[in-house]
Amino acid sequence: MDDLIVYSAADRIARITLNRPDKRNALSFGLRRQLVDSLRKAERDDAVSVILINGEGPAFSAGYDLSDDRAVRPEGWLASEHYSSWSDQYARSIYRDWMVIWDLMKPVVAKVHGYCLAGGTELMSMCDIAFVADDAVIGYPPMRGMSTPDTLYFPWKLTMAQAKYLQLTGNSVTGKEAAAMGWVAKSFPADQLDQQTERELRPLAEVDPALLAANKASVNQAYEIMGMRTHLQAGWQWHQLSGSDRTRASEFGAIARKEGLRAAIEWRDAPFRREGFQP
């Protein structure tokens, strides 16, 4: 677990790199814990003004690690007979982790390339600013056959038309399309993503950290007044209802156990793939 995150800080920028390239930076419990610890470390460092999250290897993040050992549970998990049958502690733990980004006093920027899927989109979308490669693939295909998102960000990041389309279909879009619909701040050609992100970060890091904190908090407050936090807190309830209590909720898992994960994904995605939608 020592190298799941690579952390460095220089020139008033803390850089947090997801470091499971062989797993396309799948978000395991260990990686999430180190990520949260790194965010808090950067917040405590007065020499840091801005935090950047990126991914090592060919993808930003392929999503949550479905093979994760749930015996190694994150902080705050209520392993109790009173709650395990009806509450979704997995989704609750995700909400707690990503709200650390929301509540952090320093702005958090995501730099996204390659695949950014499912839980990867939750991490990206809870960052304050996202810069992405034009050819990045961003989407949430598990919603086609598994559950609602753990973090219900769609209505807060997109128009109603786009939020409903993407959440109901689970379709993916390119980074360039995500920028056009306002999901992310900007997209750049893949070979310019690093250079252009650095160009954005350098002057931002020179702004008074207190002013950055005030501006972040004032924007966040507007969304809180509109009910964003209350809505996100309900994520684990919808995740439980759709992922466990729904009549056909066990189909994906049953296929995965019998025929393997690839077969389950094919069952989930085949109707969309036949029509040319990816992944």
Report how many domains make up the chain: 1
| 268 within domain boundaries | no
In this predicted structure, what is the pLDDT of residue 69?
Answer: 59
Residue-by-residue DSSP string for the chain: -TTSEEEEEETTEEEEEE--GGGTT-B-HHHHHHHHHHHHHHHH-TT--EEEEEESSS-SB--B-TT--TTSPPTT----TTTTTT--HHHHHHHHHHHHHHH-SS-EEEEE-SEEETHHHHHHHHSSEEEEETT-EEE-GGGGTT-S-SS--HHHHS-HHHHHHHHHH--EEEHHHHHHTTSSSEEE-GGGHHHHHHHHHHHHTTS-HHHHHHHHHHHHHHHHHTTHHHHHHTHHHHHHIIIIISTTTTHHHHHHHHH-HHHHHHHHHHHHHHTT---
Range of the domain at 95: 5-246
| 78 within domain boundaries | yes
| 273 within domain boundaries | no
| 103 within domain boundaries | yes
| 85 within domain boundaries | yes
Model confidence, pTM = 0.94
Tens digit of pLDDT at every position of the chain (279 positions): 468 999 999 999 999 999 999 999 999 999 999 999 999 999 999 999 999 999 999 999 999 997 765 556 777 777 778 887 788 888 999 999 999 999 999 999 999 999 999 999 999 999 999 999 999 999 999 999 999 999 999 999 999 999 999 999 999 999 999 999 999 999 999 999 999 999 999 999 999 999 999 999 999 999 999 999 999 999 999 999 999 999 999 999 999 999 998 999 999 999 999 999 877
Q: Is 160 exposed, middle or buried (0-12, 13-18, 19+ CB in 10 A)?
A: exposed
Q: What's the CATH code of the domain at 215?
A: 3.90.226.10
| 276 within domain boundaries | no
